[in-house]
Amino acid sequence: MNENGCAQEPQLAEPTKPQVPDGINDKFKDPKLNVDEWLERFEVESREVFGAREEVLKACAIQPGERIADVGAGTGFYSRLFAKKTGWDGWVYSVDIAPNFLQHIAARATADGIENLTTVLGTDVSIRLPPESVDMVFICDTYHHFESPQQSLASIYRALKPGGRLILIDFERIPGVTREFLLGHVRAGKDVFQNEVIASGFQFTDEVEIESFEENYLLRFKKPGGH
């Protein structure tokens, strides 16, 4: 009751946004990070996004001469595929917060004769690329690691040219279906992530069905403008 004797409306709690698990990125920032251990996890056929790499590459629809940002590049296997697809007239920026991954990517690119690739040390809030510098941004199994998604998405939006593409691959999060580790590791499901990207100014294009995906999904977005 208030001071006038009237019943008060119940106070509804503000909805809380799902939070990234504490320390989710600590292991990647650790100077002792062992790249070989992650190669064994990332570049194996049993990993969906590795086994389906040709299908994913097709969904990216890369044209010769395009500039591409591989955000959360990890060990760089997609960066190398992109560099070959876009050709010598194009360029790939391998963005990651893990210096050890970037050192590996640079060394592997040199060993493979890939010269159209640059490594970029990103931050928790920015991919650190110039405005309107890339035609496509690729985020694979990494968006759920974004500690400040709105700020990171704003930096991605700035870096994309008008009409540029954003490819987002992440894990389904469906209680009762998704395995327990992912339920605890991935902060939100596909609809939440899709809405966050749209709220940052992107237009949703479509979802591409990758035949071999069971735990992953692939969404495509576009920055308004362009042809």
Q: Is the pLDDT of residue 195 over 70?
A: yes
pLDDT band at 9 (very low <50, low <70, confident <90, very high): very low
Q: Is the pLDDT of residue 170 over 70?
A: yes
- Write the pLDDT tens digit of every residue in 57-84: 999 999 999 999 999 999 999 999 999 9
Tokens standing for residue 12: 């509804």
In percent, how much of the chain has pLDDT > 70? 92
This prediction has a pTM of: 0.90
Cα distance between residue 30 and residue 139, in whole Å: 22
pLDDT band at 196 (very low <50, low <70, confident <90, very high): very high
204 has which bridge partners? 221
What CATH number has the domain spanning 26-222? 3.40.50.150
* CB-based contacts of 212, cutoff 8 Å, min separation 6: 48, 51, 52, 55
Q: So what's the pLDDT on residue 158? A: 98
